[in-house]
């Protein structure tokens, strides 16, 4: 097996909020994408909640001596994240202020690859016959529209929900999504230290026979005009760095804000 990895922080951030998971001793690999916080908290080293979330999960998943299944390790990392927030005085009742991270991880065994995912980090597989398929669903995509529909239903059901004009500001939308949509059936999964996150881990197994590549990426690697199947094709044909140049050019043409970008490519 050959391993390639890449990470590039956004030029607009003080520090990158993605983290790479590279644990060759246990054959566990992945990417974590810390959710940019809307709270002002910084630790004594100046790290924000996104950096702390992704790197707390990374540290757990890379720690020697862990012997649980991949999903069990993600669950344990999420609980460790909760303890880290408690140690730092984070009010866990304020869900929109929780440290949070998306994750896509893979455990390689002689029989195949087990994967686990939360959020909009994605797992993409390529097979010997040329087929390419995303093994996970990006449930973050479209969440604001689902949140708006939820608020409308709640109002119809007599619940007290602010009028929609109050959600014209991006901050209000983000706060609502993180408080009311994170780790809910109609929302999206994310590692944020809550027990509900466990129920939203997407996981599965791919037999090693027939598998040629497995790609783990954060959402900063998504091309704004191309599907993930094409992302895999371009990375394999041109390399990760050239593909990232394509993404950056497309984002500039659309006046999009650049995000952190991270990828791990496993090849057989």
The model's confidence at residue 64, banded by pLDDT at 50, 70 and 90, is low
Is residue 92 domain-shared with residue 133, that is, in the same domain? yes
On whether both 64 and 90 belong to a single domain, the answer is yes
Per-residue pLDDT tens for 192-233?
999 999 999 999 999 999 999 999 999 999 999 999 999 999
Total count of domains within the chain: 2
224: domain CATH number? Answer: 3.60.40.10
Pairing of strands 2-8, 122-127: unpaired
Residues 57 and 161 placed together within one structural domain of the fold? no
User: Which residue among 156, 187, 218 closes a domain?
Assistant: 187
Residue 181 and residue 85 share a domain: no
pLDDT at 213: 98
Nearest to 40, CA basis, from 3, 90, 79: 90
The reply to whether 111 and 148 lie within a common domain is no
Per-residue pLDDT of 9-61, as tens digits, reads 999 999 999 999 999 999 999 999 999 999 999 999 999 999 999 999 999 99
**Closest to 48 measured CA to CA, from 2, 85, 91:** 85
Q: Give the end of a domain, one of 187, 216, 243.
A: 187
Structural domain that includes position 193: 2-140+188-267
Exposed, middle or buried: residue 142 (CB in 10 Å: 0-12, 13-18, 19+)? exposed
> Whose CA is closest to 263, among 210, 204, 223?
223
């Amino acid at each position: 097996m050959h391993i390639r990895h890449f990470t590039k922080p956004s030029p607009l951030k003080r520090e990158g909020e993605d983290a790479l998971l590279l644990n060759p001793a246990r054959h566990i690999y992945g990417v974590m994408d810390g959710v940019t916080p809307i709270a002002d908290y910084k630790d004594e080293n100046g790290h924000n909640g996104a950096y702390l979330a992704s790197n707390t999960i990374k540290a757990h998943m890379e720690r020697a001596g862990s012997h649980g299944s991949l999903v069990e390790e993600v669950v344990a990392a999420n609980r460790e994240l909760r303890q880290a927030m408690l140690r730092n005085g984070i009010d866990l009742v304020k869900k929109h202020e929780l440290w949070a991270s998306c994750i896509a991880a893979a455990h390689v065994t002689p029989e195949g690859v087990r994967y686990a995912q939360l959020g909009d980090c994605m797992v993409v597989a390529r097979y010997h016959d040329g087929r390419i398929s995303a093994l996970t669903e990006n449930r973050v995509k479209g969440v604001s529209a689902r949140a708006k529909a939820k608020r409308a239903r709640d109002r119809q059901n007599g619940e007290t929900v602010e009028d929609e004009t109050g959600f014209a500001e991006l901050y209000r939308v983000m706060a609502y999504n993180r408080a009311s949509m994170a780790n809910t059936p109609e929302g999206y999964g994310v590692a944020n230290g809550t027990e509900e996150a466990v129920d939203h881990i997407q996981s599965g197994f791919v037999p090693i026979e027939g598998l040629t590549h497995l790609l783990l990426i954060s959402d900063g690697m998504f091309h704004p005009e191309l599907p993930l199947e094409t992302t895999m094709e371009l990375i394999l044909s041109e390399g990760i760095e050239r593909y990232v140049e394509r993404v950056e050019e497309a984002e500039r043409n659309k006046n999009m804000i650049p995000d952190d970008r991270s990828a791990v490519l496993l090849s057989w």
